Chains A and B, each alone.
Chain A
Amino acid sequence: MNEKIIQSNASPLNRVEVDTVTVDIIENALKNAREEMDAVLFRTAMSPGIREQGDCFPMIANKDGKMVVGQFGSFIHGFMDAYEGELEEGDIILTNDPYMTNAAVSHLPDWIVLVPIFKEGRHIAWSAMFGHMSDNGGMVPGSIPIKAETIFQEGIRIPPTKLYKKGELQSDVLELILHNVRTPQWNRFDLNALVAACKTAAKRCQEIAERFGDDIFYSTMEIMLERNHVAMQAIINMIVPEEPRVFEDYLCDDGVGMGPYKIRCKLWRENGRAIFDFDGTDPQAKSSINFYLNEDMFKMFFGSFTINLIDPQILFNDGFYDLVDVRIPEGCLLKPKFPAALSGRTHALGRIFDVMGGLLGQSAPEAMNAAGFSDSPHLFYSGYDDNGEWFQLFQIGFGGIPGRPAGDGPDGHSLWPGFTNVPNEFVEAYFPLRIEQYETIVDSGGAGLHRGGNGLSVAYRFLCDGTIAIHDERWMTYPWGVNGGTPGMRSSKKLVRADGTETFLPAKCDGIEVKKGDLLYFDTWGGGGWGDPLEREPELVLADIQRGLVSEEGAKRYGVVVSNGSVNDAATAELRATMKAARGDVSLFDFGGSIEEIKQRCLEETHLAPPEAPAFR
């Protein structure tokens, strides 16, 4: 691919011997460089989404485009295959188009900046970073329209474009792009910050190469890739059985009345390679919940989930990709055909982690986690404030971390690396609303030897007329429990109008008008429980009651009877015996019933009609 890169110094980089200590030192320096990218971005970005929530991901790749440091894997191959032009020193690429980058980014609001790094006229590495922009234009504020049927409705599509040419900002292009979004100022600064972060990484790579020599820099990156290969080979042999395993999970609905959508994956090992086959996954949806899954990105999910077991200090990278084969059928939910809408991909992206957990866990149940907070629910609130100024709030929801071998799941936390909530005082200072409640939902974590974390209930009092949009999941299917643990409580959204009338809103909706004084309860879901709840120490259940995390009634899920503020030992023993007899042996998974059963109870339990079975074109 490097023939598309113009170098004034084309002498090749050579593979040379590098001693272990030098490799470790360079590895450490690259790790620092990556952390510095985050630091630069957070300090200079403007939108709450990036700087407070950390919705952004850095990467440094070797000259062949393989990620050596980073999080979500390299997309440079996909990009270079699709890119027709040539690149030279000082060029900086901007794009957001999943279809033109082989799903390097998976929806349009993620803008990605890519910098080829040169030293003395020679291309030595890449740096890249993507960040979730506050707005990308299109049908709705926030640019994640649930009803979109094609990507053309989801806002501006930026093909791989030179934002900088030989170091010169192409301001015409930039202004054209910013003209198409609702939050041009935020996007301008966030983009500026992404560029600054990538440039910092470039500078660090040049310094490392200067200190140790270009060949050693290049060779060390190769060695780091090989280290991962060796480690992952061992891991695959250890945890992926030759006997195929299958796991299925669901997206509850598509926001336009159909669901649930099945994600099915089969996993086995063949000649030392792990094969993930998504055959049997439902076809693509009509709405925007499709997730165009890059195969390499999935490999990365798999690798980062497992490699920490071996050497937590290792810099996780692309080096093992040829050990994993990912098969995704064309036209399915995970590989929709152009021009399918993609903006609401976050739900399927999250669910993939539950699927992977369920697949790998079947061979090692003790090491398996329950179903987690596998999504990143959104709330948008926009309109004009009392001064006639446009406001646009984007909030990410947090929920229950599942019960795990390591212990109880934290309450109201994030499964995503680096994500934090936006302080409510910040939100109230800059947006016309009051957050009247911010606490976890009692009993919402699944019962287990290690309980699931509770979901979070946030009560938003709107202080201006405006419009809201919601993206959420697990309102119908359950966050499942494992090894005897029970499922967590599902999510719900209740809108209480100023006149007292109550409506349950669908999990995915937009264009809902709210009036000054209306109150929205945005309740996320709890994590599934891990292990037999009847084995949990009764005193721990009592402590959770005293903390208001579990109710006395909820304690009965653990077979624990509490009276007058202490555990009633006799009644507890009796209840546990009865429950054990009725239940029999614990099952590996507890999904809370079959899809048919869940659908039947749906209206009564969730106040929402069940979706219709998807009909595919």
Chain B
Amino acid sequence: MSYRLGVDVGGTFTDLLLINEKTGETHTAKVPSTPQDSSIGVLNGIDRICQESGIDATEIHRVMHGTTVATNAVLTGKGAKVALVTTKGYKQVLQVARSFCPGGLGGWVSYVKKPLLAPLELTVEADERIDANGTISSPLDVTALKETLEALKAKGGFEALTISFINAYVNGEHERAARDIAKQVFPDMPISISSDVVPEMQEYERTETTVVNSYVRPEVARYIDNLSGALEERMGDNVHLSILRSDGGLASARAAAESPVNLLMSGPAGGVAGAIHFCQQAGFDNILTFDMGGTSTDVALIQGAKARVRRETRVGDVTVRAPSVDVRTVGAGGGSIAFVPELTKALRVGPESAGAEPGPAAYMKGGELPTVCDANVVLGYLPADVQLGGKMAINRDAAVKAVKSVADVMGLTVEEAAEGIIKIANEAMFGALRLVSVEQGFDPREFALVGFGGAGPLHANALGKLTDAWPAIIPPGPGVLCAYGDATTEVRDEASRTFVKLLAETSSEELADSLAELRQRASSTLENDGISIADQTITYQADVRYTGQAFQLSIEFTEQELANEGLNVLKRQFDQEHTQLFTFALEEGHEIVMIRAIATAVGRTIPIQKPGEKGNTAQDCVIAQSRIYYEGNWHDTPIYDRGRLQSGMKVDGPAIVGEMDSTSVVLPGYIAEVDTVGNLLIQPA
């Protein structure tokens, strides 16, 4: 037997999913994460899942992994000490950044700038200059640079070096020369150069991205080394470890360690991939996903079973130029705290969160402030009196007490206040869903909505009402969906470069030549990992804009399409998308900015293990009777065990459907049906 293992390391839990590659049979496990060294948690999980399923670890041949190691290094400020070499006159490129103070008028009053990821103490300059057209206006002073680097070495105190020169996106010659010199001075240190990591215009963004790459590189490399070593020990030499990248593609462990800046959104990308996996098989190719966790919610729009990728990744305060699945995050999650400012008497929810510690009041771990989770408990959506297999005990009295504190200030009943909290949290998520749909020219009514993550299934029905995106889908295992995603994606790599040319001033031949070069680069990464050219598909992308515009769109095409249609393939698609977004298109002025080639391994689809056919009735799956509060009234509500529900069964709202790590709410006037894949589809009755 051959198995593959999906592993998602989150902030609190590490989720594992073991799939039999032939039958699609699955096993899941959830173990606590071990933030000091995540690989320990992963190994604990593997031991657990093998033990519980009785499968021998040596039968696992692929481990596919979504990791927040890089993200956490950025968020906690615990990355490597990074030294930086800039062009003379640009030492403070990160200090000045884009001169931007967030907040409205007067926002500067309270703005506190975070420490730089490459501190000024460790930033030095090189005497060199390349102009915007790529010509060298001042040659690199090799002797001076060597002296500067020797002095930096004497000072010490850093583990990685970054080189980022002005206009290196056009001509990386000086950066490469500087790297060669630096290698002599620092033979064992990882060195990142901006023209390799992200050859794109804009000095601050390029430098920051390259620095972030250096910043997370030692930590990620260490982690991947430890993990691969331990996996081989348990599973033997023929186990293959891959890591999920921010853009939703898998990279081999080796490739991932070299450009870890591409892993910052690895976690959310897994969730999106998992949602696509289940929805596509159920016939839903256009979906809106929302992944609601403790502190925030990630939403994304999927069209044609493909996630949109944007050329930017944001983690906390840090924004880098690295492709990532276009996920928008709002600060509304199960732990978001509700409060009433004294003067305005408005009801506010978040962005402050109770997090895992002290957590919502209902969990009795020291939290006393009312959270979205507590409101769910008060309203009965999260039943307190019935143990659903989850490990957390829920105390309704504590939740009531917490919510009452805001109810009293507003002169509302506890139930009214709780319903208000839920509505406001839903509205914040609705805002994010609008951002990815309506504001991009998509009508949510043409999409289905997919709710997952710890709290997503509680809110999916309500968000379906707000967006009118039906059905609201709860996929199987909504709490471990990221691990599903990790286990079901394909290896992928891309190569890109700046190619600033008006369409009118280039030819399809010139473009094809440049793309062939990139194709070679992207393809070779996969070949190095043992995927032959025959097992790869290649697609091309060009970032196009109207000249002068800041905004650009990535247009996708194949070699064949370019050959058949010429440059019109770009113009036609760009105009179409631009019209959808902004209601207009222009006759001329189309400009290519960047081009890239993407190589993807041809995948083997894994069968989904379907829930058994109807043998008993939905009524047989009811495990308890409870009640929920909805639109001002209490409703008697049965609680169903999702594990017993089978394909084709229908559950009338109001209903609660519980499973190990998640609870779904079906509101009065709605009906949920189990489809052949095991999804719960909620629709108006």
Binding site for B on A (CB under 8 A): 20-21, 23-25, 27-29, 32, 36, 39-40, 42-47, 51-52, 71-72, 186, 189, 192, 196, 227, 230-231, 234, 301, 304-305, 308, 310-311, 313-314, 316, 369, 372, 398, 401, 404, 406-407, 410-421, 423-426, 428-429, 434-440, 456, 459, 543, 546-549
Contacts and interface: CB of A to CB of B under 8 A. Distances in A.
Contact of B92 (A40, A51, A412): A412
Interface stretch (B109-117, B389-397, B561-569, B646-654): B109-117
B428 to A, nearest CB: 7
11 contacts: A23-B346, A24-B427, A40-B582, A46-B549, A311-B346, A417-B104, A419-B100, A420-B99, A423-B201, A423-B204, A435-B89
B422 to A, nearest CB: 9
Contacts of B107: 417
Given A46-B549, A71-B104, A410 B113 contact: yes
Nearest to A527: B108
A372 B108 contact: yes
Contacts of B167: 425, 428
Interface stretch (B6-14, B47-55, B309-317, B337-345): B337-345
The main secondary structure of chain A at its interface with chain B is mixed
B92 A28 contact: no
B223 to A, nearest CB: 31
A15 B616 CA distance: 55
A28 B424 contact: yes
Given A44-B551, A398-B99, A428 B348 contact: no
A415 B92 CA distance: 19
A548 B89 CA distance: 13
Contacts of B95: 411-412, 440, 547, 549
A213 to B, nearest CB: 16
B685 interface: no
B15 interface: no
A316 B347 CA distance: 16
Interface string B419-437: 1100110011001001100
B41 to A, nearest CB: 37
Contacts of B203: 423-425
B202 A311 contact: no
Contact of A20 (B90, B91, B420): B420
A411 B420 contact: no
The 5 closest A-B pairs by CB, nearest first: A437-B89, A547-B120, A21-B420, A43-B551, A428-B132
Contacts of B106: 304-305, 308
Interface of B: 89-93, 95-96, 98-101, 103-113, 119-121, 129, 131-132, 137, 166-167, 169, 201-205, 341-348, 410, 412, 419-420, 423-424, 427-428, 431, 434-435, 439, 500, 546, 548-551, 581-584
Contacts of B129: 434, 436
Given A25-B423, A414-B101, A548-B120, A43 B96 contact: no
A547 B119 contact: yes
A421 B99 CA distance: 6
A25 B100 contact: no
Nearest to A313: B348
Contacts of B423: 21, 25
A412 B427 contact: no
Contacts, number: 208
A311 B104 contact: no
B343 A311 contact: yes
B92 A43 contact: no
B350 to A, nearest CB: 9
A326 B86 CA distance: 50
Given A44-B551, A548-B91, A20 B347 contact: yes
Nearest to A461: B137
Nearest to A414: B99
Given A417-B107, A420-B98, 20 more contacts: A20-B420, A21-B347, A21-B424, A32-B434, A42-B550, A44-B551, A46-B549, A71-B104, A186-B548, A310-B341, A398-B96, A410-B101, A410-B108, A412-B95, A412-B96, A419-B99, A435-B89, A438-B89, A438-B90, A546-B121
A412 B99 contact: yes
A150 B342 CA distance: 50
A406 B110 contact: yes
Nearest to A233: B343
Contacts of A418: 100
Given A20-B420, A440-B96, A231 B120 contact: no
A512 B344 CA distance: 54
Contacts of A410: 101, 108, 111, 113
B103 A547 contact: no
A20 B345 contact: yes
A144 B345 CA distance: 46
A241 to B, nearest CB: 20
Contacts of B100: 413-414, 418-420
Contacts of A546: 120-121
Contacts of B109: 305, 308, 369, 404, 406
A425 B201 contact: yes
Given A406-B112, A410-B101, A438 B93 contact: yes
Given A44-B549, A230-B344, A426 B131 contact: no
B111 A429 contact: no
Contacts of A189: 548
Contacts of B583: 196
B364 to A, nearest CB: 28
B121 to A, nearest CB: 5
Contacts of A423: 98, 201-205
A459 B88 CA distance: 12
Contacts of A72: 105
A21 B410 CA distance: 10
A4 to B, nearest CB: 29
Contacts of B548: 46-47, 186, 189
B105 A310 contact: no
A234 B113 CA distance: 31
Contact of A28 (B89, B137, B410, B427): B427
B99 A413 contact: yes
A313 B99 contact: no
B346 A227 contact: yes
A425 B96 contact: no
A403 B435 CA distance: 37
Contacts of B202: 423, 425-426
Contacts of B113: 410
B112 A439 contact: no
Contact of A439 (B89, B104, B131, B346): B89
A595 B224 CA distance: 65
A369 B434 CA distance: 39
A418 B424 CA distance: 27
A372 B110 CA distance: 13
Contacts of A426: 201-202
Given A20-B410, A32-B434, A401 B101 contact: yes
A292 B439 CA distance: 37
A401 B100 CA distance: 11
B424 A24 contact: yes
A123 to B, nearest CB: 23
B457 to A, nearest CB: 22
Contact of B105 (A407, A417, A437, A438): A417
Contacts of A456: 96, 99
Contacts of B420: 20-21, 24
Contacts of B551: 42-44
B343 A421 contact: no
Nearest to A304: B105
B570 to A, nearest CB: 19
Contacts of B431: 28-29, 32
Contacts of A413: 96, 99-101, 108
Contacts of B110: 308, 404, 406
Contacts of A440: 92, 95-96
